[in-house]
Structure 1
Amino acid sequence: MTAAGFDPEWLALREPADAAARAADLLDPLRVVLARRLGAVLARTARDLAPETPGDSGKNCPQVTIRDLGSGTGSMRRWLSGRLGVAERWVLQDRDPELLALATRDLAAGTDGLEVRVAEIGALTGADLTGTSLVTASALLDVLTAGEVDVLVDACVEAGCPALLTLTVTGSVELDPPGPFDRRFEAAFNRHQRCRGLGPDAVAHVTAAFEERGATVLTRPSPWRLEPGPLTEQWLRGWVEAACEQEPDLAEAAPDYLRRAGELKAVVGHADVLAIPGERT
């Protein structure tokens, strides 16, 4: 896809900002959950091993299977891999096979512990998550519809699978130096996003959906903090263009904003969500 947000060059440009913004403190409670569930698997494995086959004891060592939805070129895997303190197997899922090809381009053929799947998120079911220890997604929820988010939540709850959902836009933007039309551009951009998906309502929606289904939900702010440079300039261009598309009267003010792109700093609001469904027996 070449739409804003899915272009490979844009994904590469934003990856360092994404990595700096993600709320790493959510990994502490996530590690506790995974360790508890992995411990239960280890206990079952030890109980089920036949005493007459001691040589099998290392063959059944469990690992964490992580399914990354809307994985794009794999930035979430690059950020999270190795941070959980457990053996990992990754399933990268995206609707775009070209992005998935980029995600594996620099990896050796047949790399252990990595699988790619071309699939739509809206078709996800709890059965698809059988054997999955963790669902992840990055910069995804705000482009989904309410129905698509509900499908994701239902699948995670049915499977009893935690979900780490990062970098969902919250709609707030602070520019430095500020301009007289900042709030109008912000409001118009947010209305534009709501025409395509949940936009800045996504965090509230996914939180309520998980909590209504009995899950524990933790949220943390994860804002982009942008300095003047190519990322800020490209982000600002997309922000202004979408706002003007939604509110054409802003077109007169747009050139001034774009002229200042090289000097602007920006704090772009995002939030990370960790949802932990109830323990399954």
Structure 2
Amino acid sequence: MSVLSWIILMSLVGGALSVLAAAAFALTARVQWVSLLISYAIGALLGASFLEVLPHAITASGDAATTTATVLGGILAFFVLEKLVLWRHCHIEACEGHEPVVHVHGHGHHDAHDHGRSGLMILVGDTFHNFVDGVLIAAAFMEDVRLGIVTALAMIAHEIPQEVGDFVILLHSGYSRGRALAFNLLSSLATLVGALLAYVALGQVQSAVPVLLALAAASMIYVAVADLIPGLHKRTEIRATVQQVLLIAAGIGTIVLTHHVVDHLAG
């Protein structure tokens, strides 16, 4: 099988498999677990951004100041994008000055509807991340087929905990389970796009990798800090706070564990 065939196969299988594996957990979880998993999602997002994506972006660029400035610019850009999404929704529904409506999910779970803002942010960031994953998979296969296979498997292992968090955020943001799956699968196609572009013009695409990684980190940080953490403050009792801290730590711990597993596979 040719190198290009391997790249196409592993990009498609890797992207779809990580989404479906995450969906198998997220879509079969009890509705009551969704609010608990939001805390886990925060930890996974922050862990992935600060422990994985951002360090790789700084290493790839070789310029920490430029990379962190890109992250800062990305956070501001996502703030403006979120404002535009909210403004458009309020402009259509004449909701200026009104409290967010209470949205009832299909299974009886009540939650404050955020007009899809968190979902939009995470889909944008996930698409950037998947694109970069595709570039890295292609680069590994062009070096050695065995290295490419190990790299693709490592990408799948790395993506699953993050995709679980993404599913939870999409559900929290008002998406139906079917739409959450469809949009995540569509976003996963960015892996194939990145891989094919890298195969055709690897040098030019690789030069954009640090910027794409920095923007992916910015998206994850923004969603966790601006959209999800404020919701946790609505529950002020000690038991809920301890539970939230433990679940955030579990999300971060999952990323750390995945990192060690990936290193072991690569070794």
Settle same-fold status: TM greater than 0.5. no
Instruction: Identify the structure with the greater strand proportion.
Output: 1
TM-score tier after normalising by the smaller chain length? under 0.3
Work out which structure has the larger RCO, using CA pairs closer than 8 Å and 6 or more positions apart in sequence.
Answer: 2
TM-score computed with the length of structure 2 as normaliser: 0.26
